[in-house]
């Protein structure tokens, strides 16, 4: 034991020596410094590492320390809280939160000595040893903090940056009734406030704080902050000190997402949930971004430009903090742009395929191209993709690295052709549904059903090639083992019954002269909807064999010593892959890229970056007008109606298919996006909420087929909704009530 430490035994928090980490430990030193600045820290003292008898076990106090402890307890006069204060605790990169013992409401010298021994002994536990090893922190001495016990009416924590999104302009306050230990240990649901200009209650089971009290807690947390975001533990006293706010702990926030501003870095506006964006629910990896994503988009727009003469402004997308935003809808609609495209449009009129695709992009004429493109897809494009996939499956295992690259490229190119056709077919389905929605909004204001129920009924069955996301870093559903069951006959019967009921309501609500038009639109919308599901259901048919080829390329790079494991290939850029296959052995920052990707997965990106212009602005305005509900509820989250129905239950925030085992039967799934690999969750969930999506997205379609409510396109549902919170999902209105009120 260091001689300087051995002289320090029991030190009041008011003693300047208590502000020295090497003497008092991290927790006590921080509180002593805050008390000296005038913050409301309960009085107490520190039992330093030097207080323990070196001749005995490390947690036994020396005789002199026992005497000093008795005198210090007399000065506090009442029950105390005994808490660890490790020398290596509350560091900027390692908080040690929950690792050591805390003993509350302790009274009497013998009981306090026993509590101190428990705190010191906890430093030698297996979980602390593993925690230190994971972070490369050596064992360090343990001090113990003893403070007057606060009899709390309410207690909790506060963060001076959003712990999920990393936003620095908000203070998040969580509160429970009574002691805060139930909150920290996860045993109690908390009321939650977000404080920007004004405090806003985002979640509560039972009211805990008034708006004034929430603001006071937020002000205290901000006052403690000194250039670095912090989290504090606080309590509001009852009894003799009723209403007094106390500061119980303050430490730097750890594992905080980067402070983010969502600027596109390019002119115009970009959206996260159009086209490929509906299949991308996580940050993109370097290999996907630099190869597959670019080639899919350039293939789509190259085909479209050759067919229609309309040139898409570049860039086709931007990646902001790892997240993909699509910009391929930024066509200018002015007379000049139309005149420049007119010669190629006139030529296209004499080519059936070009004519079909040109019509597909024009809402009034889209029906003229739908059947032509659907037949071409069934007769030509889908058989070509199946042929390529079958040939690749038989060749991958014996292929050279160069041949593997060719096979991957072939699958990507074939899939880009599929995507072009999907734009014509699925795009037409969306246009018909918008016409249907507009008719009911304008001519049937009394219609009380849900438009989304009117197109339901097409069957959806999971397949081995279904994916969690287009980025091939994610295993396919077949690789994960076992396909989830398709909707049962009873579920399908409920869906069809609800569809028939909605149709009857709609027909009764429109004027007599509009019923024939409504029936025609319904028939066409259902036909187009089924075709869309048929196409999108095989869109990723090549993904299983493509993943095998990419992992084999990873094995080749691993053999060369370029990467440490085959799975690291997803964090290699396409140009780096080519150079490595040519024999170059460059050192690549794989670990840093993977860590960045994992950190970016915790962000909650907006749906739009930049300022939408041209066709994109028109489309977004139409969707906003038709799909977003009018609601003035301060404790509600707005989105788009995805599947009708209303459910109140426990929210389970899940960011990856790998986490779906956390979803219990009857809980509400809250996810960034759901793609076909998420289908296994729909048999368990009672409702679905997603950040992205539309009435035509996977979440909406599959939720309707399973007969459960869905609200999609909330933007930041995974950030606003707290895991385990009780919420109400109103799928028909597109509203999520965060309070859980029915």
Split at pLDDT 50, 70, 90, the class of 578 is very high
Model confidence at 322: pLDDT above 60? yes
Amino acid 236: pLDDT: 95
Q: Report pLDDT digits (tens) over 17-61.
A: 999 988 998 899 999 999 999 999 999 999 998 887 654 445 888
Amino acid 96: pLDDT: 46
Examine the domain organization and report whether 421 and 545 are in the same domain.
yes
Amino acid 443: pLDDT: 87
**pLDDT exceeding 70 applies to what percent of the chain?**
82
Amino acid 549: pLDDT: 98
The number of C-alpha atoms within 13 Å of 138 and in the hemisphere containing its C-beta is 2
Q: What range defines the domain where residue 566 resides? A: 269-444+510-600
Examine the domain organization and report whether 203 and 134 are in the same domain.
no
Closest CA to 728 of 696, 687, 685: 687
Examine the domain organization and report whether 312 and 384 are in the same domain.
yes
Would 451 be classed as within a structural domain? no
Split at pLDDT 50, 70, 90, the class of 491 is confident
Examine the domain organization and report whether 22 and 121 are in the same domain.
yes
Average pLDDT, the chain: 83
Neighbours of 545 (CB within 10 A): 23
- Choose the final residue of a domain: 118, 148, 178: 148
Examine the domain organization and report whether 348 and 426 are in the same domain.
yes
CATH number of 39's domain: 3.30.1490.20
Examine the domain organization and report whether 287 and 241 are in the same domain.
no
- Choose the final residue of a domain: 209, 225, 252: 252
Would 413 be classed as within a structural domain? yes
**Tokens, residue 169:** 């302009």
Would 462 be classed as within a structural domain? no
Report which of residues 293 and 96 the model is more confident about: 293
Please, which residues bridge with residue 620 across strands? none
Would 552 be classed as within a structural domain? yes
Q: Locate tokens 């609800």: which residue?
A: 498
Split at pLDDT 50, 70, 90, the class of 93 is very low
Examine the domain organization and report whether 143 and 166 are in the same domain.
no
Examine the domain organization and report whether 230 and 203 are in the same domain.
yes
Model confidence at 5: pLDDT above 50? no
Give the total number of structural domains in the chain: 3
Split at pLDDT 50, 70, 90, the class of 368 is low
Split at pLDDT 50, 70, 90, the class of 692 is confident
Amino acid 446: pLDDT: 82
Contact (CB, 8 A) for 704 and 688:
no
Amino acid 36: pLDDT: 96
- Choose the final residue of a domain: 532, 566, 600: 600
CA gap 435, 366 in Å, rounded: 12
Q: Locate tokens 């869905």: which residue?
A: 710
Amino acid 341: pLDDT: 59
Examine the domain organization and report whether 124 and 180 are in the same domain.
no
Examine the domain organization and report whether 245 and 361 are in the same domain.
no
DSSP state of 288: I
Report which of residues 206 and 686 the model is more confident about: 686
Contact (CB, 8 A) for 675 and 467:
yes
Examine the domain organization and report whether 173 and 74 are in the same domain.
no
**pLDDT exceeding 90 applies to what percent of the chain?**
41
Report which of residues 89 and 384 the model is more confident about: 384
Examine the domain organization and report whether 67 and 192 are in the same domain.
no
Mean pLDDT, rounded, for 69-91: 84
Model confidence at 668: pLDDT above 90? yes
CA gap 702, 520 in Å, rounded: 24
Would 15 be classed as within a structural domain? yes
Amino acid 335: pLDDT: 56
CA gap 485, 515 in Å, rounded: 38
């Amino acid at each position: 034991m260091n001689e300087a430490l051995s002289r320090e035994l029991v030190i009041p928090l008011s003693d300047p020596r208590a502000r020295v980490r090497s003497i008092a430990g991290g927790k006590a030193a921080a509180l002593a410094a805050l008390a000296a600045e005038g913050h409301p820290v309960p009085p107490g003292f520190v039992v330093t590492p030097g207080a323990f008898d070196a001749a005995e076990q490390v947690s036994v106090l020396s005789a002199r320390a026992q005497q000093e402890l008795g005198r210090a307890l007399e000065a506090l006069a009442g029950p105390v809280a005994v808490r660890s204060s490790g020398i290596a605790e509350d560091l900027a990169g390692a908080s040690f939160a929950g690792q050591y013992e805390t003993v509350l409401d302790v009274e009497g010298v013998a009981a306090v000595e026993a509590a101190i021994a428990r705190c010191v002994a906890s430093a030698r536990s297996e979980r602390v040893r593993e925690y230190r090893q994971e972070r490369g922190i050596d064992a360090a001495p343990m001090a113990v903090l003893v403070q007057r016990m606060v009899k709390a009416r309410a207690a909790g924590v506060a963060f001076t940056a959003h712990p999920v999104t990393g936003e620095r302009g908000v203070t998040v306050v969580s509160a429970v009734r009574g002691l805060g230990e139930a909150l920290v240990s996860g045993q109690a649901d908390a009321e939650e406030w977000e404080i920007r200009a004004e405090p806003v209650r985002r979640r509560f089971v039972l009211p805990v704080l008034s708006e004034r009290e929430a603001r006071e807690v937020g002000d205290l947390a901000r006052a403690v902050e000194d250039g670095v975001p912090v989290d504090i533990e606080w309590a509001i006293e009852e009894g003799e000190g009723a209403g007094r706010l106390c500061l119980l702990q303050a430490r730097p926030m750890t594992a905080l997402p980067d402070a983010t501003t969502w600027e596109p870095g390019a002119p115009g506006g970009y959206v996260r949930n159009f086209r490929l964006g509906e299949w991308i629910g996580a940050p993109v990896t370097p290999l996907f971004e630099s190869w597959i994503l670019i080639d899919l988009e350039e293939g789509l727009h190259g085909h479209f430009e050759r067919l229609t003469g309309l040139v898409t402004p570049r860039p086709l997308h931007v990646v902001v903090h790892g997240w993909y935003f699509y910009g391929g809808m930024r066509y200018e609609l002015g007379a000049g742009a139309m005149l420049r495209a007119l010669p190629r449009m006139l030529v296209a009129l004499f080519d059936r395929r070009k004519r079909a695709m040109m019509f597909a992009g024009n809402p009034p004429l889209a029906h003229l191209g739908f059947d032509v493109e659907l037949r071409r897809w069934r007769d030509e494009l889908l058989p070509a993709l199946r042929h390529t996939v079958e040939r690749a499956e038989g060749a991958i295992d014996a292929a050279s690295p160069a041949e593997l690259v060719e096979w991957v490229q072939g699958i990507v190119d074939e899939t880009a052709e599929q995507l072009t056709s999907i734009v014509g077919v699925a795009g037409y389905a969306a246009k018909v549904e918008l016409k249907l929605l507009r008719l009911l909004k304008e001519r049937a204001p009394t219609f009380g059903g849900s438009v989304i129920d009117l197109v339901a009924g097409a069957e959806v069955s999971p397949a081995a090639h279904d994916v969690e996301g287009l980025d091939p870093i994610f295993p396919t559903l077949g690789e994960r083992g076992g396909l989830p069951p398709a909707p049962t006959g009873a579920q399908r019967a409920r869906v069809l019954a609800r569809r028939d009921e909605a149709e009857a309501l709609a027909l009764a609500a429109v004027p007599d002269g509009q019923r024939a038009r409504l029936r025609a639109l319904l028939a066409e919308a259902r036909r187009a909807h089924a075709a869309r599901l048929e196409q999108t259901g095989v869109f990723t048919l090549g993904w299983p064999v493509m993943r095998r080829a990419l992992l084999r390329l990873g094995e080749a790079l691993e053999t060369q010593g370029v990467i440490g494991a085959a799975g690291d290939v997803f964090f290699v850029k396409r140009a780096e892959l080519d150079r490595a296959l040519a024999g170059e052995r460059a050192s690549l920052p794989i670990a840093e890229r993977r860590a960045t990707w994992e950190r970016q997965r915790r962000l909650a990106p907006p749906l739009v970056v930049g300022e939408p212009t041209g066709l994109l602005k028109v489309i977004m305005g139409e969707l906003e007008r038709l799909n977003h509900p009018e609601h003035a509820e301060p404790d509600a989250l707005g989105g788009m109606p995805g599947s009708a129905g209303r459910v109140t239950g426990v929210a389970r925030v899940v960011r990856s298919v790998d986490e779906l085992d956390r979803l219990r039967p009857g809980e509400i799934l809250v996810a960034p996006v759901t793609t076909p690999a998420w289908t296994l969750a729909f048999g368990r969930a009672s409702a679905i909420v997603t950040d992205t999506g539309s009435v035509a997205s996977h979440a909406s379609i599959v939720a309707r087929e399973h007969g459960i409510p869905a609200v999609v396109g909330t933007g930041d549902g995974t950030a606003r909704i707290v895991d385990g919170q009780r919420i109400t999902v109103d799928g028909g209105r597109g509203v999520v009530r965060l309070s859980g009120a029915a």
